[in-house]
Structure 1
Amino acid sequence: AGTGEEGCREAETSTPSSAARELINGWAYCAECILHGTPSGLDNAVSCEGGGMRLQRAGRESGAALRFEPIASLRPMTVLVTNTNVPRSTRRLVAKVRALRDAQPALTEALFGAVASVAEAFLAATASSEARLSAELPELVRINHGLLVSLGVSGAPLAAKDRPFPGCVHDTLYAPQAPPSRTSSPPPRNTASPQS
């Protein structure tokens, strides 16, 4: 390893070893357990390995082993992530879904099945052409968002009717198009100096 500026550049471009990623993944999973109770491990696995992963439960019963599988056909894409500023607790959301499942098992299973169908359609579009993915992705996101609302894990701020596409994403999410022309001036920049 280099020192000084050269060492920094090397650190920015090197990939941790498999053993290092496994260690980081394990600690990240521990942090997820503290925050969420019983996480799937998907967030930390994707963060450590990069790309996309498919998560499947080995069986229908609760407690069945989880299987992670890299999505080889996933193309690089730009995704807009926003902060809705709506506080939430994953632990409470999971408990809410569990209560819904206890009260309405058949309906909840149907919703889970529909979410799985959306995921399969996404994987099929990803494995197909760029044009197909571009055409289908906005609709798949809309459908999945509606299913999440039905499960009680996505709220009204994301489903605002004044947005062209629920989920804080525009319909041209994946299709490269020219930006719309501006009809008004941009907002003024904040030029105030920060207070000490």
Structure 2
Amino acid sequence: MCIHGNPSGVDNTCSTQGKGVVFQRPDHQKPSLVKSLWNFPELPLLLVNTKQAKSTTVELGKVQRLKNAHPKVVGSILEAIDSVTRSANEIIDDIDSEKEESLRRIGELMSINHGLLSSLGVSHPRP
């Protein structure tokens, strides 16, 4: 049996629809916003299983504690993550033009996002 405390729906949506999604949960009192990216292009991505089990609840708790201790700093980091996501979404929406350049820019954004997640303490130690 698998029990989720407060699931996002991202895994299920991606698995059943086979496309990327944009996920937002601006307010935990309201339902999540999950927008399917129906024109999501094929991208040369490599996913690696680090075999490092993590609990989403524990990881979110770490971020919440950090945010409670440093609200302005963590708020700025979360806003930066939002900006990275929006920038990547814009590139994906227009990826047909200059695909190689688009892939390079998406890669840069992924590296930036990894750094931001690392600063929150929720990234794997090896990039």
Distance 1:70 1:54 in 2: 7
Q: Unpaired runs of 5+ in structure 1?
A: 1-29, 159-165, 167-196
2:17 corresponds to 1:49: yes
Tell which has more relative contact order, 1 or 2 (C-alpha 8 A, sep 6+): 2
> Which residue number corresponds to residue 144 of structure 1?
113
> Which residue number corresponds to residue 103 of structure 1?
69
Query: Displaced runs of 4+ in structure 1, greater than 6 A?
Result: none
Q: 1:113 to 1:62 in 2, by over 3 A?
A: same
- RMSD over aligned Cα, in angstroms? 1.8
> Which residue number corresponds to residue 90 of structure 2?
124
Distance 1:46 1:87 in 2: 21
Q: Which amino acid aligns with 1:89?
A: S
Of structures 1 and 2, the larger Rg is shown by 1
SS in 1 for 2:2: helix
Q: 1:49 to 1:132 in 2, by over 3 A?
A: same
TM-score in terms of structure 2 length: 0.85
> Which residue number corresponds to residue 8 of structure 1?
none
Deviation at 1:149, TM superposition (A): 0.3
> Which residue number corresponds to residue 55 of structure 2?
89
Instruction: Answer yes or no: is the 8 Å Cα contact 1:111–1:147 preserved in 2.
Output: yes
Instruction: Answer yes or no: is the 8 Å Cα contact 1:101–1:108 preserved in 2.
Output: yes
Query: How many residue pairs end up in the alignment?
Result: 124
Q: 1:52 to 1:122 in 2, by over 3 A?
A: same
> Which residue number corresponds to residue 31 of structure 1?
2
Q: 1:55 to 1:131 in 2, by over 3 A?
A: same
TM-score in terms of structure 1 length: 0.58
Deviation at 1:32, TM superposition (A): 5.3
Instruction: Answer yes or no: is the 8 Å Cα contact 1:51–1:74 preserved in 2.
Output: yes
What CA deviation, in whole Å up to 9, does each residue of 1:83-116 have, x standing for no partner?
2232322221111111111111111111111111
> Which residue number corresponds to residue 76 of structure 1?
42
Distance 1:132 1:117 in 2: 19
